[in-house]
Amino acid sequence: MKIDLTGKTILVTGASRGIGRGIAEALGKSGATVAVHYRQNKTLAEKLAEEIGNSSKAFQADLEDPESCKRLFNDVICTFNHLDVLVNNAGIFLNSPIEDETWLDDWDKTLNVNLRAAAILSRSAILHFRKRGEGRIINISSRAAFRGDNPEHLAYAASKAGMVALTKSIARGYGKDGIAAFLIAPGWVKTDMNRETIERYGEEAITKDLALNKLTKPKDLAPMIVLLASGMADHATGTTIDINAGSYVH
């Protein structure tokens, strides 16, 4: 069954590469208009928006800055007049041993980008969706939210765990306003952000931890986001969907 998202406007943060790019492309192929958020690579984001078509457009914002988060949402609304779905995908994965002098700065930056920005955008979306009578929020978390991560990524795991509570609270609190919220929890995904780690340890070392034979790719997550964006799975609101090749099942 082909899902038709024609007429829907969807904001995807961190959409210029990696998981976000895969999501944006899949949404576009289903007919959606995509607001392609990027932080630095304007050329790449604008090219992607053009390739997606459907009047899609690129939007710049530094998600570490609260005012920039608010401006991003307002710019999307001013451009398209409405939003149907918010996908909080953008995130950072900083290597921060506790011995490093930059540990606290890295912790603050990680929570600001991975969690606070998602909360600010979700708040704006909820206020907007309430007026429209419906809307969907899809948050990209991590298996690390449930099984933890290594000592160099304490902040990353904590930020992704915060997204779990944020998603469940939105689902429980705003369902009667027509708002649904979902959480996707990937494991290792073959992206630019993970390239250094994959090259350091090798794919075989990582796939040993998987139930399947291959590393997850962005295209493996995208179909589920398309389904959730369609509204066909709204009765699964508040749920967590593991897409991690069976490396963590809860």
Exposure class string for 116-145: b at 16+ Cβ within 10 A, else e: bbbbbbbebbbebbeeeeebbbbbbbbbbb
Determine whether 174 is an active site residue.
Answer: no
Nearest-angstrom CA–CA distance, 59 and 40? 10
Phi/psi at 90 (nearest 5 deg)? -55, 140
Terminal-to-terminal C-alpha distance of the chain: 29
Residues with Cβ within 8 Å of residue 188, at least 6 apart in sequence: 194, 198, 206, 209, 210, 215, 216, 244, 245, 247
Residue type, 133: G
Nearest-angstrom CA–CA distance, 244 and 206? 12
**Do 124 and 70 touch, CB atoms closer than 8 A?**
yes
Spot the catalytic one: 38, 156, 174, 248: 156
H or E stretch at 35:
strand 33-38
Nearest to 155 by CA among 101, 98, 87: 98
Q: Tokens 């998202």 map to which residue? A: 5
Residues with Cβ within 8 Å of residue 129, at least 6 apart in sequence: 83, 135, 174, 177, 178, 179
Active site residues: 156
